[in-house]
Amino acid sequence: MSGIRVAGEFAREKGGEIAMRRSVLVLGGGVIGLSSAYYAARSGCEVTVVERASADRDGCSFGNAGMVVPSHFIPLAAPGMVALGLKWMWNPESPFYIKPRLDWELMDWAWKFWRASTSAHVRRSAPLLRDLSMASRACFEELSELSGNTFDLVKKGLLMLCQSQETLEHEGTTAEQARALGIPAEVLNTAQTAALDPAVRMQIAGAIYFPNDCHLSPNRFMARLQELAEKGGVRFLWETDVTGWKRSAERIDAVVTTQGSLAADEFVLCGGSWSAGMAKGLGLILPMQAGKGYSLTLPNPPQLPQICAILTEARVAATPMGSALRFGGTMELAGLNEAINPLRVQGIIKAVSKYYPEFTAADFEGVQPWRGLRPCSPDGLPYLGRTNLYKNLIVATGHAMMGLSLGPVTGKLVAEMATEGRPSLPLDLLAPDRFA
């Protein structure tokens, strides 16, 4: 594949005539890329996915906590997060850690994060995040029906487990905000929480219950989504790096890759934590930090909760996946570095027994930690939409810890922009040019 393919060369018969199909080139094979490819193909486009890793990749779309969370309507950049981050960042076992380094892009990102962490930002963002999450939940339900629920979608809600009364009261305020947005939320005491999930013993002051949240097996979901995309005619180019671009006026003519130059009618930039690097070649500024997260999956846990949970003070997620139980968490800003930091993993293990006293460190012996790099924008919102620089470029990245949860709706909106010109939800707050 050394030459440039002419965009729009694909054709199909329609009413006795030959109708040209729009060609879409998706740059990235994570959950956003697969979702974009699937929905674009379903809309009648000829789709190719370009992915830097191999087909058996294990990036952040695969080993995460597998939660679909309408409850997460507050962006990462929110009041109090800067102070909390400063408190945590000196402890390498804490939920948040920045690897000390002289990095102008990190300092610029941190400055923008501080500027965005306001109550006004939360008020503006919450209704949109709610709408995106509920639309994505509906997509998951549809995909579950299409696949015979091969990815184990469980609709039992989510528990925010709180060890202290102070945290419970703070989370109760969030529950009030949720209800004001039309998101069901209940404040439970210790006994009520135990009655809701009697399969596990908890050491808590209480919990917030969000009944609309769901969980699933992310690696099974990714496998099924890829299978559906392939059945829809999507072509995949694995182990293919983007090395440059060919441009003219306000359009992209082709992307240059290690397998040659590839042209298309529409380009979708969704390379996760690597998106900012690819965007630089286009003169597009996408402030981004890779937030490394970890997970540990116990195949035979001593107890198996039936409802997914967040261990609130520790910022650790607990998700039952069939007969296994996955614990995931931490946010480590260390650049595009996929090495596993044992101290970060130890922080997760220590947190578990504080909430689930039947668990000990011995339960995690021999369990191989997983890590993934989550693309984090400085205001905690994804980059989603067209840019002012190029008429045939759609950006879909920066979802941070919400990539899986918002993956399907993001793909659906990308397909709408590629085929209909306009998305069905207002995306002004997510404009890729907002930091230009």
What's the CA gap between 29 and 71, in Å, rounded? 27
What is residue 101's DSSP assignment? -
Same domain, 250 and 342: no
Same domain, 231 and 366: no
pLDDT of residue 14: 43
Q: Looking at residues 131-151, what average pLDDT do you find?
A: 97
pLDDT of residue 88: 74
Instruction: Tell me the pLDDT band of 8, cut-offs 50, 70 and 90.
Output: very low
Q: Looking at residues 71-100, what average pLDDT do you find?
A: 83
Nearest by Cα to 130 from 432, 413, 433, 405: 405
Write phi, then psi, for 22 (nearest 5 degrees): -70, 135
Residue 249 has pLDDT above 60, yes or no: yes
Residue pair 384/413 in contact by the 8 Å Cβ criterion:
yes
Residue pair 268/33 in contact by the 8 Å Cβ criterion:
yes
Q: Which residues on neighbouring strands pair with residue 333, listed in sequence order?
A: 98, 291
Lowest mean pLDDT among 73-77, 202-206, 331-335: 331-335
Instruction: Tell me the pLDDT band of 436, cut-offs 50, 70 and 90.
Output: confident
What's the CA gap between 155 and 248, in Å, rounded? 48
Same domain, 157 and 207: yes
Q: Which long-range contacts (CB under 8 A, 24 or more apart) does 55-60 make?
A: 55/236, 55/238, 57/29, 58/370, 58/372, 59/30, 59/272, 59/372, 59/373, 60/30, 60/272, 60/273, 60/293, 60/372, 60/373, 60/374, 60/403
Residue pair 178/210 in contact by the 8 Å Cβ criterion:
yes
pLDDT of residue 5: 42
What's the CA gap between 202 and 190, in Å, rounded? 8
Strand order, beta sheet including 393-397: 235-237, 46-50, 23-27, 266-269, 393-397, 383-386
Same domain, 240 and 208: no
What's the CA gap between 322 and 152, in Å, rounded? 8
Same domain, 282 and 292: no
260 part of a folded domain: yes
Residue 187 has pLDDT above 60, yes or no: yes
What's the CA gap between 255 and 295, in Å, rounded? 34
pLDDT of residue 92: 78
Neighbouring C-alpha atoms within 13 Å toward the C-beta of 417: 26
Same domain, 242 and 274: yes
What's the CA gap between 434 and 333, in Å, rounded? 22
Residue 280 sits in a domain whose CATH number is 3.50.50.60
Residue pair 185/71 in contact by the 8 Å Cβ criterion:
yes
Residue 303 has pLDDT above 60, yes or no: yes
Residue pair 25/255 in contact by the 8 Å Cβ criterion:
yes
Q: Give percent of the chain above pLDDT 70.
A: 95
124 part of a folded domain: no
Same domain, 233 and 360: no
What's the CA gap between 116 and 382, in Å, rounded? 14
Instruction: Tell me the pLDDT band of 20, cut-offs 50, 70 and 90.
Output: low
Residue 105 sits in a domain whose CATH number is 3.30.9.10
C-alpha to C-alpha distances, 39 to 34, 42, 227, nearest whole angstrom: 9, 5, 13
Q: Looking at residues 354-381, what average pLDDT do you find?
A: 97
CA pseudo-torsion sign 91, 95, 101, 103: negative
Q: Looking at residues 281-291, what average pLDDT do you find?
A: 95
Same domain, 169 and 87: yes
C-alpha to C-alpha distances, 204 to 267, 306, 309, 317, 348, nearest whole angstrom: 48, 17, 12, 15, 17
pLDDT of residue 316: 97
Q: Which residues on neighbouring strands pair with residue 331, listed in sequence order?
A: 96
**Averaged confidence pLDDT in the chain:** 93
pLDDT of residue 233: 97
| DSSP three-state, residue 201 | coil
Instruction: Tell me the pLDDT band of 4, cut-offs 50, 70 and 90.
Output: very low
137 part of a folded domain: no
| DSSP three-state, residue 345 | helix
pLDDT of residue 420: 83
Task: Please enumerate in sequence order all residues whose Cβ is within 8 A of that of 268, keeping only pairs 6 or more positions apart, or say none.
Answer: 24, 25, 26, 27, 28, 33, 36, 40, 393, 394, 395, 396, 414, 418
The residue among 161 and 3 whose pLDDT is bigger is: 161
Structurally, the chain folds into a number of domains equal to: 2
Q: Which domain holds residue 43?
A: 11-59+221-286+380-430
